[in-house]
Structure 1
């Protein structure tokens, strides 16, 4: 499938974007946020008898035609194709996610992120990182704080590596602690370079994607997340309010209906809900 066969208007309609789609910063920010509000971060193919492969026609069919979501390799891989087709200069980058168990980073190609070069400036785009992700592109040309709602992000550079970090609302400020999310280099990559790690995350007991069935999506003012047999709704804080989270347990027979109603995800094969402990990976990085 070539860019001419992508059906850009269908993709833009899928993510709820309307208006001229020229390669501008305003459009980049808008399609980034629209994508997160419309396409869930999910790994349900892994838990319904399927397998994810990184061919662009397959990703387009899944996310646009079938109105599904995906994890980073899928969402960011397809999003890079959309941006390129719209005329943006896009570079695929290899990220390494900080493991919350070992507090060390995963291997190269653990995460796929995008750099967009536009009018002499560089922007980090990521529509495939779930609940910890940022809703609008981050500037790669500043080391200062970048506020987005109840969170503050920054990109810190150390030699050849760039580190994405954040502060929560209650921790915000010059003396607040920064939480490391992932690191990456600016070396250009190809989508096929991520195939090995894509397969790893579908089969390793050290990967959250193998151990837990997940579906989460950004909502205006909050986030909705399904994991295993739980549904969690989060309302982001505004001035004078605090973060609110409610969780309810689900019965197996409820889950397909919840996925269809709340996430607009309809699976072709039965889902096997999963929420197992993650085996700590060997510390190598």
Structure 2
């Protein structure tokens, strides 16, 4: 995937994974969760004078050496390389996220997701989605509910397109409402196929990533999220209880944000951050 050497042990150390790393389902699940709990989903490069480029060597340096995070193309793009080095058969896929404002889907290559084929079974992997993401890979061989702690997911198929859906805490149960998160096809893609949308997300007022400075990471029993000038912490009662216990939010002063990012997320920026939390403009063309 890249002429640059992948230091697998360094990468695994970065995400806190220890132990044999053979291509098994147990390892796939473990590295997926470890990645989510160690590498933030963030776009802070966009808001600190930088530019995101989908070059594997740059992604490796940023996420592994600089201990940063990234958005979908970065996190999943680099994770794809790691899985390949570990011996997994992995395929990049193009996803389209359903907008919470418009209720419509984004364009093709709006989101990068991964499919891993292992022992005749296909798994959906995604370490680059943020709050609505799943913690362990989802089976692509069933359309039935797949429960993960406080959430239930399912993958519905319709005329060659797969739809990832979830039930939120208040809608759980057989009669609960399913909410679409994103749709994707199983056609193989390459990292460079996402270059145009990577630029769009850094420059368009129709993109969440341009309008809001954000950083979020999965924590044991909850999630920590920074957006603009606010810090939110969500704690789940327990994996068994399956409901949110508490969400607390506090306002941040501009001068304290770098310290919060460093202490809470392990993110240290090379350039000053300009906090941003603007309203997203609905796109003129919707899918």
The within-5 A match list for 1:82-121 is 82-121=82-121
For 1:273, the equivalent position in structure 2 comes to 275
For 2:49, the equivalent position in structure 1 comes to 49
The within-5 A match list for 1:8-27 is 8-27=8-27
For 1:257, the equivalent position in structure 2 comes to 259
Name the CA shift for 1:200/1:3 in 2 (closer, same or farther; >3 Å).
same
The within-5 A match list for 1:125-204 is 125-204=125-204
Query: What is the TM-score of this pair, normalised by structure 1?
Result: 0.98
Question: How much does 1:243 deviate?
Answer: 3.1
5+ residue gaps in structure 2? none
Looking at structure 2, the residues matched to 230 and 102 of structure 1 have their Cα atoms a distance apart, in angstroms, of 24
Looking at structure 1, the residues matched to 4 and 97 of structure 2 have their Cα atoms a distance apart, in angstroms, of 34
Q: Is the 8 A contact 1:3 1:85 kept in 2?
A: no
Give secondary structure in 2 for the equivalent of 1:58.
helix
Q: Is the 8 A contact 2:150 2:243 kept in 1?
A: no
Q: Is the 8 A contact 1:97 1:105 kept in 2?
A: yes
Q: Is the 8 A contact 2:234 2:244 kept in 1?
A: no
Give secondary structure in 1 for the equivalent of 2:183.
strand
5+ residue gaps in structure 1? none
Question: How much does 1:3 deviate?
Answer: 7.3
Give secondary structure in 2 for the equivalent of 1:107.
coil
Q: Does 1:282 align with 2:287?
A: no
Question: How much does 1:4 deviate?
Answer: 7.6
User: What is the Cα-based RMSD across aligned positions, in Å?
Assistant: 1.2
Looking at structure 2, the residues matched to 181 and 160 of structure 1 have their Cα atoms a distance apart, in angstroms, of 17
Q: Is the 8 A contact 1:204 1:210 kept in 2?
A: yes
Give secondary structure in 1 for the equivalent of 2:37.
helix
Q: Is the 8 A contact 1:90 1:116 kept in 2?
A: yes
Q: Is the 8 A contact 1:43 1:214 kept in 2?
A: yes
Name the CA shift for 1:203/1:242 in 2 (closer, same or farther; >3 Å).
closer
Give secondary structure in 2 for the equivalent of 1:122.
strand
Question: How much does 1:169 deviate?
Answer: 2.4
Q: Does 1:72 align with 2:109?
A: no
Q: Could you give the per-residue CA deviations for residues 82-115 of structure 1, whole angstroms, max 9, x where no partner exists? A: 0000000000000000011110100000000000
Name the CA shift for 1:207/1:176 in 2 (closer, same or farther; >3 Å).
same
Detail structure 1 runs of 4+ shifted over 6 Å in the superposition: none
Looking at structure 2, the residues matched to 191 and 256 of structure 1 have their Cα atoms a distance apart, in angstroms, of 31
Name the CA shift for 1:158/1:270 in 2 (closer, same or farther; >3 Å).
same
Q: Is the 8 A contact 2:2 2:56 kept in 1?
A: no
Q: Does 1:228 align with 2:225?
A: no
Q: Could you give the per-residue CA deviations for residues 196-222 of structure 1, whole angstroms, max 9, x where no partner exists? A: 000000000000100000000000000
Q: Could you give the per-residue CA deviations for residues 3-45 of structure 1, whole angstroms, max 9, x where no partner exists? A: 7821100000000000000000000000000000000000000
